[in-house]
Amino acid sequence: MGAKKGRVVSGARPTGRQHLGNYLGAIRNYVALQEDYECIYFVADLHALTTLKDTDKIREWTYEMALDWLAAGIDPEKTILFIQSHTPQVSELHTILSMLTPLGWLTRLPTFKEKVRQQPDNVNYGLVGYPVLMTADIVLYKADTVPVGRDQAPHLELAREIVRRFNYHFGEVLVEPQAKYTDFPKVLGIDGQQKMSKSLNNHIEIAAEPEEIRERVMRMVTDPQRTHRHIPGRPEVCNVFTFHGFFSPDDVEQIEQDCRTARIGCVDCKRLLAQNIADYFAPFRERRAALAAEPDHIWDVLADGARRATAIASQVLAEVKEAIGLPPVR
């Protein structure tokens, strides 16, 4: 194996079983990046607390998410996989970085404004600091590359500004991270309107059995103008066709022609998609079942990841404290 190109860090809040949006938008890239980068991935359980919903589910959802990630190909031999709160250094660095972050930088973020609209009765201190904690997640490992969705762009820009400020005051200690955006920024749900998301219940789980995949795919919204089998369809406005682009690479040209000429109807088109999705994830389902048979193994992998993450984190944190001039322990 040649030298790696750099270090990747990314995380996602524990949301339980992963769906096609998570897979195409994030997991697939996580897996691919392992070849060329030193990767560090984590379950952002602390970030989940900012919305304080479903806290009783955090353990279960952390487990289910880690299970999906591992079955999808995150390889603990190559990659550090851990739970955010298991490296407490991140909270310490968050406190330090918060002192360097003007409040205005945080309150003007579109992501913050959106949350204020969504939960006006719970605009907590942690919510304002969400991007500072995210900055700590990244710089604690001196990561140079951060795979994220486009919605995270303002957070990455903020992380870069915080790093520049730190380095200006205390010397070149921290690394300015670059975002690496996914090719599938917005996978639509089965409604064909909104981003696929568990909370909208418009999702298809990657661990779903073929029958459940079929049931969900058959409910997918297609070209609204195609109200009858004999009316030609417009693949460019059809979400089913978008999925064929990924899951049916060999058939996609034929499907496009057949849809435009009404040689194929939406029902057959969806049947084919359901089959191809189910086939694509068949090896995944098998690996997942094998992993799920030994839950302790998942927790062990996460514990080992935390040990490896902590080794890096404590070193970087010590450098940060020394650069600032905080008095050492003796």
In the chain, which ranges are continuous DSSP H helix?
20-22, 28-33, 45-48, 58-72, 89-98, 103-107, 110-118, 125-139, 153-170, 210-218, 239-247, 252-260, 266-280, 282-292, 295-324
Near ligand ADP in 149-168, by CB under 6 A: 149
For the bound state, the minimum distance from the C-beta of residue 124 to ligand ADP, rounded and expressed in Å, comes to: 17
CB contact at 8 A, 149 and 25 = yes
- Which one, 53 or 219, has the nearer CB to ligand TRP? 53
Quick check: 137 binds ligand TRP (CB under 6 A)? yes
Signed CA dihedral, 60, 62, 67, 72: sign only:
positive
Question: Which listed range, 113-121, 156-164, 192-200, 279-287, lies at the site for ligand ADP (CB under 6 A)?
Answer: 192-200
Signed CA dihedral, 97, 152, 42, 1: sign only:
negative
Largest CA distance in the chain: 81
Residue 146's binding partner out of ligand TRP, ligand ADP, none, with CB under 5 to 8 Å set by partner kind: ligand TRP
- Which one, 186 or 308, has the nearer CB to ligand ADP? 186
Q: Which of 26, 39, 269, 313 binds ligand ADP (CB under 6 A)?
A: 26
Rounded-to-integer distance, Cα 243 and Cα 213, Å: 13
Q: Which of 8, 65, 80, 138 binds ligand TRP (CB under 6 A)?
A: 138
Near ligand TRP in 151-180, by CB under 6 A: 152
Quick check: 47 binds ligand TRP (CB under 6 A)? yes
For the bound state, the minimum distance from the C-beta of residue 131 to ligand TRP, rounded and expressed in Å, comes to: 8
116-131: string of b/e by CB count within 10 Å (b at 16+)? eeeeeeeeeebbbbbb
Residues at the site binding ligand TRP, with contacts judged by CB under 6 A: 9-12, 44, 47, 134, 137-138, 146, 148, 152
Residues at the site binding ligand ADP, with contacts judged by CB under 6 A: 12-13, 15, 21-22, 25-26, 148-149, 184, 186-187, 195-197
